[in-house]
Structure 1
Amino acid sequence: MPPWHEKFRLQDGRELLIRPIRHEDAAPIRGGFLLLEPEQIRRRFLTTMAELPAEQAARLCSPDPRSEFALVAAEPLPPGEALVGAVARARVLDGARHAEYAILVSRFIVGQGVGRHLMRRLVKWARSRKLEQLHGEVLDDNQPMLQLVRSLGFRVLPAHDAPGLARVVLDLGTAAGKAGEPDLVPAR
C-alpha cells in the first residue's frame, strides 16, 4: 500500500482503511458531521454547530504538506465514496518546532482502538518531522481523551487562558515523550 495507508480491523470485526485525507473526502465528512451528537461536536470543536461549513470541510481535506498532516479512518472504498469514521490532524505552528493536533472519532466506532491508533500515527509523523512537541486542547471533562493521551505519555496541564480546558503536551525529544512512542507496526 502507499505510504500512510493501512488496514485496521475494529474489535467488532469491521475493517477500515487508515489513509491520508483527500479533497474528495469533504462531502462524506460533511455528511458524516450530521451524524455526530452535539456532545461530540462540543468536545472536538469547543463550540456547538449544526453542520460543518463547506469551506471548512474543503480546508480540512486539503492540508498543506509542508506543515500539516491529516489521516482518516474510512470504509475501504475510493475517497469521496467512503464513509469517514474518524479524522486526525496535526499542524506545525508557523515555523515552530511543535505541532498542534485534533482528532474526532464517530460514536459508531469509538472505543475500538481507532483513536489510539490515529494518535500514534500523529506522533510518528511529528517525530519524522523532528518536532520537539505535539500538543492539543481538550475539554477537562473529556475523560476518554485525557486517559488516552496520558497512556501515550502526554502531560496534562491546565490551559491558563481558557477555564474548562486542559492543554495536553507530548515532549518528543525526551525520555517522557519516548515512553508513549508507538510501535511502528500496525496495531491489528
Structure 2
Amino acid sequence: MSTRNRLPPWHERIRLANGREILIRPIRADDAEPLRASFALLQPEEVRQRFLHVVKELGPETVRRLTQPQPRTEFALVAAEPLPPGEALVGAVARASITPGTRDAEFAILVSRYVGGMGLGRHLMRRLVRWAKGKRLDRLYGDVLESNQPMLALLHSLGFRREASETRGLLRVTLDLAPAVEARREADAPRPLA
C-alpha cells in the first residue's frame, strides 16, 4: 500500500450495502454544525432511542461536548460523507466515556435511518469495544430502551449481557472486557449440585 492511500488511526473508508461510501473517523470540532444539521433530519423515535426522551435540537454546549471529547477518557467516532470535517453530513455517532473513578466506560450510539440496517451500528460498536480494550478497561456498558429490540439483539450478538435497570423501560447492557472480570463472574456463578 502506498503512503498516500493510508489513512490516519481510527479512519476507515467503508462501502455500505446501498453502494454509498462513508468515512468512519474520530469526531472533530468542525463537525459541530453538520452534526446539528444532521440531528434535524432524525425522526423523534430515533432521538428517543438514543437520548431516552424526546430532544428537539442539540444545544451549543451539548454539541461542544460531543465534538470535543477529552482524549484520555472519551472517544467518539462519526460515520460521515467522505468530505472534510465541517462539510460532511454525519450519519452516525458512536461514543464511549470512562466513568470517573472506575475502569468502566459508558457507550452511546446513534445511527440515522438513512444508513441504518446496513451493519454500521455493529461496525461502530466493535470500534468502541476495541478502544475500551486498548484502554484496558474492565467493562463497557450502556442503557437501552426495552423497546429497542434491534439494538438489544445487536449487543447480545456481540457478547453483551442484560442487567436490570433502576429506570423503568430501560435495560443496562454490559460487556466484560478484562479476562479477570470474566473469571470472577464465572467463579461467582452458582454451581449445580452433583
The answer, yes or no, to whether TM exceeds 0.5 is yes
For residues 13 and 119 of structure 2, the distance between their equivalents in structure 1, rounded to whole angstroms, comes to 13
Which residue pairs with 1:171 in the alignment? 176
The alpha carbon displacement at 1:54 in A equals: 1.6
The one of 23, 27, 33 aligned to 2:29 = 23
Output the amino acid matched with 1:125.
W
In structure 2, list runs of 5 or more residues that go unmatched.
Answer: 1-6, 183-194
For residues 46 and 131 of structure 1, the distance between their equivalents in structure 2, rounded to whole angstroms, comes to 25
Is the 8 Å Cα contact of residues 9 and 15 (structure 1) preserved in structure 2?
A: yes
The alpha carbon displacement at 1:93 in A equals: 0.7
Is the 8 Å Cα contact of residues 29 and 64 (structure 2) preserved in structure 1?
A: yes
Output the amino acid matched with 2:167.
A
Which residue pairs with 2:189 in the alignment? none
Give 1:122-141 correspondences, 5 Å limit.
122-141=128-147
The CA deviation string for residues 49-96 of structure 1, in whole angstroms up to 9 with x for no partner, is 211112111110000001000000000000000000000000001131
* Counterpart secondary structure, 2:137: coil
Higher relative contact order (CA 8 A, sep 6+): 1
The CA deviation string for residues 15-68 of structure 1, in whole angstroms up to 9 with x for no partner, is 100000000001001001110000011110011121111211111000000100
Which residue pairs with 1:94 in the alignment? 100
Output the amino acid matched with 2:91.
G
Give 1:35-184 correspondences, 5 Å limit.
35-159=41-165, 161-174=166-179
Is the 8 Å Cα contact of residues 138 and 181 (structure 2) preserved in structure 1?
A: no
Is the 8 Å Cα contact of residues 145 and 169 (structure 2) preserved in structure 1?
A: yes
For residues 91 and 129 of structure 1, the distance between their equivalents in structure 2, rounded to whole angstroms, comes to 11
* Counterpart secondary structure, 2:42: coil
For residues 179 and 54 of structure 2, the distance between their equivalents in structure 1, rounded to whole angstroms, comes to 37
For residues 107 and 91 of structure 1, the distance between their equivalents in structure 2, rounded to whole angstroms, comes to 24
Is the 8 Å Cα contact of residues 104 and 137 (structure 2) preserved in structure 1?
A: yes
Is the 8 Å Cα contact of residues 153 and 176 (structure 1) preserved in structure 2?
A: no
Q: CA RMSD in A?
A: 1.3
Give the TM-score of the pair, scaled to structure 2: 0.88
For residues 167 and 57 of structure 2, the distance between their equivalents in structure 1, rounded to whole angstroms, comes to 25
In structure 1, list runs of 5 or more residues that go unmatched.
Answer: 178-188
Give the TM-score of the pair, scaled to structure 1: 0.91
The alpha carbon displacement at 1:146 in A equals: 0.1
Which residue pairs with 2:3 in the alignment? none
* Counterpart secondary structure, 1:44: helix
The one of 27, 38, 41 aligned to 1:32 = 38
The CA deviation string for residues 101-122 of structure 1, in whole angstroms up to 9 with x for no partner, is 0000011000001100000000
Q: What number of residue pairs does the alignment pair up?
A: 176
Which residue pairs with 2:188 in the alignment? none
